[in-house]
Amino acid sequence: MATIDQIRTEWDSTVWASSSILEPVFPYEFTEESEKETAALRHNGRINFWTYTIELATQFMMASRRSDEWTVTVSYYLEHSANGDNYNAVLDKWETLYTLVRTDLGLTWGDLVGGYNHQTEPLAVEQITIDNRKVWRFKYKFIGFDTRAV
């Protein structure tokens, strides 16, 4: 069974190392209260970054089987443009992410999982405030799964 570190390493080397991802990527959620941290969230002069977290849920089943489920939650943040027309740029980033996971990471995430699904809810883009600036954000989940004998 894969570890969280192995899943993180595969995402880092496949998805986040892609030339399609130019913005900073953080493998944790940020805290808005940290000035040092919010300063690192800028790319090309505006708030523009990715975060992701990985969680593992394990369930032991009958017949000496174990089921693991890795939930990778990805968020993308983009500061509003002056006229607010970059909402579609956020949607474009989601399409880039979705394509990288589907084609580059693949069905088994480098043979670490038996397969994966993605969240069943539609993509939701919301408006939040970071450092007194209006920012678009989406969160999207990819769920890797595997069941094996123990």
8 A C-beta contact, residue 100 and residue 18: yes
8 A C-beta contact, residue 80 and residue 125: no
Give how far Cα 92 sits from Cα of 1, 78, 87, 89, 126, Å.
34, 12, 9, 5, 15
Which amino acid type is present at position 74?
V
Instruction: Report which of 119, 126, 139, 100 is spatially closest to residue 21, judged by C-alpha positions.
Output: 100
**Region 4-149: CATH code:** 3.30.2000
Q: What are the extents of the domains in the chain?
A: 4-149
Question: Token digits for 129?
Answer: 């405030």
Each residue's pLDDT tens digit in the chain (150 positions)?
A: 899 999 999 999 999 999 999 999 999 887 666 656 676 777 777 899 999 999 999 999 888 889 999 999 999 999 998 777 789 999 999 999 999 999 999 999 999 999 999 999 999 999 998 888 899 999 999 999 999 888
DSSP string, the chain: ---HHHHHHHHIIIIITSTT--S-EESS---TT-HHHHHTTEETTEEEEEEEEEEEEEEEETTTEEEEEEEEEEEEEEEPPTTSTTHHHHHHHHHHHHHIIIIIITTTTTTTSSEEEE-SSPP-EEEEEETTEEEEEEEEEEEEEEEEE-
For residue 58, how far is the Cα from the chain centroid? 21
